[in-house]
């Protein structure tokens, strides 16, 4: 049942009346400006603002493809100008304005426009277009909400990642040992050039290297598992290191002798 304030239809040629406001029609076109005024003239729902929505333009393109006309929406100039659109587009605008006005347009405007001789879009096709239009509006709204909340989401993700990275570095520093620390702990000969690189490579080959590198000052260093290193040294690396160190020291003494001669 329609509300008492809804007058169904004036005689042909005079347009339609809603809540005492004339909604003009021209062939297949309806005045969006009149519809806006009849529905309450909310400035935020003016025809120009509605047409500016990306989802609205997509819907207009769909109607244009189906109807086969490019000139399906026109705007007049000046203060007294009005925007007219194909009645199928006007029905979508009615849904945007208010549920009550959309219901009235569904029962009165549709009947009036489908009674004209001009061909329109089949009802089932229009229903599919309107459903797609509604889905697009819903998706656009959700995307906007996601964009608004994105900075907070990113901030909430970054903080625990940074904390985890710091904790990982702290764990490496607490539990790992450098090649020099392990080397010195076993009383091996100091001051041999390149010895720590050779020793660290042997530890790494033996599976003692900890994942990641710890930062000490401006330098990133390799850290090794002291327990694994101890096992590896007991299996022969300690002896091998002593032999290698002895050879390097012997070469250095040889060079010193040659230089003295």
The DSSP code sequence of 178-243 is -HHHHHHHTTPPP--TTHHHHHHHHHHHTT-BPSS-EEETTEEE--B-HHHHHHHIIIIIHHHHHH
Whether residue 142 is predicted with pLDDT greater than 50 in this model: the reply is: yes
pLDDT 10s digits, 183-215? 999 989 888 888 999 999 999 999 998 876 665
Nearest to 187 by CA among 139, 223, 152, 233: 233
Whole-model pTM: value is 0.41
Gap between the Cα atoms of 247 and 23, Å rounded: 104
- Strands 219-221 and 214-216 come out as antiparallel
Residues in the chain: 261
CB atoms within 10 A of CB 36: 27
Between the CA of residue 61 and those of 118, 157, 175, what are the distances in Å? 20, 40, 66
Going by pLDDT thresholds of 50, 70 and 90, the confidence category of residue 152 is low
pLDDT (average), residues 109-135:
63
Mean pLDDT of the residues in the chain: 77
Dihedrals phi, psi of 73, to nearest 5 degrees: -150, 130
pLDDT 10s digits, 69-105? 777 888 877 666 789 999 889 999 999 999 999 999 9
């Amino acid at each position: 049942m329609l509300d008492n304030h809804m007058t169904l239809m004036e005689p042909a040629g005079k347009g339609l009346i809603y809540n005492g406001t004339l909604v003009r029609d021209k062939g297949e076109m309806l005045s969006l400006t009149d519809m806006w005024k009849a529905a309450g003239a909310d400035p935020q729902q003016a025809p120009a603002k509605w047409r500016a929505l990306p989802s609205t333009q997509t819907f207009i393109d769909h109607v244009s493809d189906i109807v086969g006309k490019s000139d399906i929406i026109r705007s007049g100039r000046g203060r007294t100008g009005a925007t007219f659109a194909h009645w199928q587009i006007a029905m979508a605008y009615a849904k945007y304005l208010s549920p009550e006005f959309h219901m009235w347009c569904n029962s009165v405007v549709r009947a009036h426009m489908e009674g004209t001789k001009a061909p329109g879009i089949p009802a089932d096709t229009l229903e599919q277009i309107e459903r797609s239009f509604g889905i697009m509006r819903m998706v656009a709204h959700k995307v906007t909400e996601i964009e608004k909340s994105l900075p907070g989401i990113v901030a909430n993700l970054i903080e625990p990642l940074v904390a985890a990275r710091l904790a990982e570095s702290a764990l490496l520093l607490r539990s790992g040992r450098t090649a020099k620390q392990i080397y010195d702990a076993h009383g091996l000969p100091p001051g041999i050039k390149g010895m720590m690189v050779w020793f660290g490579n042997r530890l790494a080959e033996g599976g003692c290297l900890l994942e990641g590198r710890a930062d000490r000052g401006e330098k990133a260093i390799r850290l090794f598992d002291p327990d694994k290193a101890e096992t590896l040294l007991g299996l022969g690396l300690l002896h091998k290191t002593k032999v290698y160190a002895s050879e390097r020291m012997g070469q250095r003494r040889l060079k010193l002798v040659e230089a003295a001669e």
